[in-house]
Copies of this chain bind each other. A is one copy, B any other.
């Protein structure tokens, strides 16, 4: 097993081992945010026929060239109906928006440009052929591939699927993620924390990080510092697509998870990433044996969340079929000087504020890997490169944006 990779190497190895999950069939209305596993071919032409873009009168353009003209209103085309016959030269037909054009007509005069008088209409303006007509197939032609495989389904896609009469779609499955906590000191949030016990909060933060990207967390509970208990719990997670253990994968006296994983057939690919927080991170897989991808995260709350962000989140997005797997990233100006030792990339919890044209980053309080509070107050993770030792106030750095509110301006911009 390799040890001590750069963050970039670790990400590359993880994504190389990660391929989109298989397809499942879903009601289109349930597929928001999912990724198409197959292309969608239109079985309908949209609009199916030439139709009116306005409420008004269907005419032959040639008949109104000398406007104002008076024409008999031969019939009316109701919404959701069709013309009873073709329009003859010199006739007009009352037509509503969306109604199919009668045969023989080639333009629509808007009702604002005409005046109805009993059985006749006075057309006040000449219109060219095609005026206010939406031609058949303007939007989609039957047989066209309207969406490629790999497209993420947004609201407009669901509207288009409905228009095409597609009520069922084939999408990549959602990743199921087994979450294990471990440690004799850990208790659930509703238990007493007297006598050195602490709440197993990681599972709750990590479950939410899974849900944010549409993955389904499954909580395996808290394993005691006992290989038998760890093995029993891990086995119940082997049917998932991903296994995340948020403690016990390091090198301490109590780090029992790693040997249990190896006993179960997991191949550990690497251990240790040159980053802070989060060095003691492990990645493994069951390679061709149908088991889950395995992510061993450090136990400190911020280390667990930051390593999830850098390694698990992109893998979950890739599993779900997404092509875009990285957080939005911006260039921010430092509002204070940062220093560190060379060797590890630091992920600095920062607040982000717009100040004129710039976005200014300042540390969000205590950067200890146990200080979860600053993680709740951070809008981004500033990338302080491994070999850098100083970024001065006023210089710029890249920031992964965790909270998009900073990109959502105070006004709509209209």
Contact = CB atoms under 8 A, between A and B. Distances in A.
A96 interface: yes
A123 B278 CA distance: 26
A22 interface: no
Given A184-B78, A195-B82, A324-B405, A160 B96 contact: no
A364 to B, nearest CB: 10
A232 interface: no
A386 to B, nearest CB: 9
Contact of A372 (B8, B160, B345): B160
Interface in A14-72: 28-29, 32, 44, 46-49, 51, 53, 55
A129 interface: no
Given A196-B82, A211-B32, A328 B155 contact: no
A139 B376 CA distance: 11
Interface string A306-337: 00001000100000000111111110000000
Contacts of A158: 204-205, 207-208
Interface stretch (A84-92, A235-243, A261-269, A406-414): A406-414
Contacts of A207: 29, 158
A342 to B, nearest CB: 15
Contacts of A170: none
A366 B138 contact: yes
Interface of A: 6-8, 11, 28-29, 32, 44, 46-49, 51, 53, 55, 77-82, 96-100, 134, 138-140, 146-147, 152, 154-167, 183-186, 189-190, 193, 195-209, 211-212, 225, 252-254, 299, 301, 305, 310, 314, 323-330, 345, 366, 368, 370-373, 375-376, 378, 383, 398, 400-405, 407-414
Given A11-B412, A323-B405, 12 more contacts: A49-B196, A82-B195, A97-B252, A100-B196, A138-B366, A164-B189, A310-B412, A326-B409, A327-B408, A328-B328, A329-B407, A345-B414
18 contacts: A8-B414, A29-B204, A47-B198, A48-B198, A55-B252, A77-B196, A78-B184, A98-B185, A139-B366, A139-B371, A156-B372, A159-B375, A160-B372, A162-B189, A162-B200, A163-B198, A326-B409, A329-B407
